[in-house]
Amino acid sequence: MSIAHRKRLTCETLCEILKAIAPYDTGNLAINAIRVIETSPGEFAVAIGGEIAPYARYTQEKWVNGVNPNEGWINRGIEAALPLIRQIMSGAVTEDDVSAYMETAGYTKSLRDKQVSRAQHLERKANKLAS
């Protein structure tokens, strides 16, 4: 596995973990606004927010009034991803290993559960409006 491929895989791994633990109201942040971008050939980064979700920065920060229940979620995601990123960069794991880890650790299921929950909420809301 080339270094560029490993870099991309580490970003994809971090991206998936962040999506799984991101604050989830409408789902826009997790589904659309956390993504891997290629900054230059063979160089990758994880982007959060931007025009897609300009509010993203406020989900991470400490609030002036009250307690932000999501404060630090990006830092927690990075900490959770670090051991796996170290293994990827050392060549100790393959893409299949990463996929299996994400499934076993529950990150894949967590995001899927959030999506299902939101869809059910919207369906209940639509049914209530229809009646």
Q: What is the pLDDT along the chain (131 residues), one digit of tens a residue?
A: 688 888 999 999 999 999 999 998 888 999 999 999 999 988 999 999 999 999 998 999 998 999 999 999 999 999 999 999 999 998 878 788 888 878 877 777 888 888 888 888 788 878 888 87
Q: How far apart are CA 34 and CA 103, in angstroms?
A: 19
Q: Give the pLDDT of residue 29.
A: 93
Residues 6 or more apart in contact with residue 37 via CB below 8 angstroms = 44, 45, 46, 47
Task: Give residue 48's domain range.
Answer: 3-130
- Residue 67 identity (one-letter amino acid): V
Question: What is the dihedral angle through the alpha carbons of 28, 84, 92, 9, rounded to the nearest 10 degrees?
Answer: 20
Nearest Cα to Cα of residue 113 among 53, 32, 30, 56: 30
Q: Give the pLDDT of residue 15.
A: 95
Domain count, the chain: 1
- DSSP label at residue 118: H
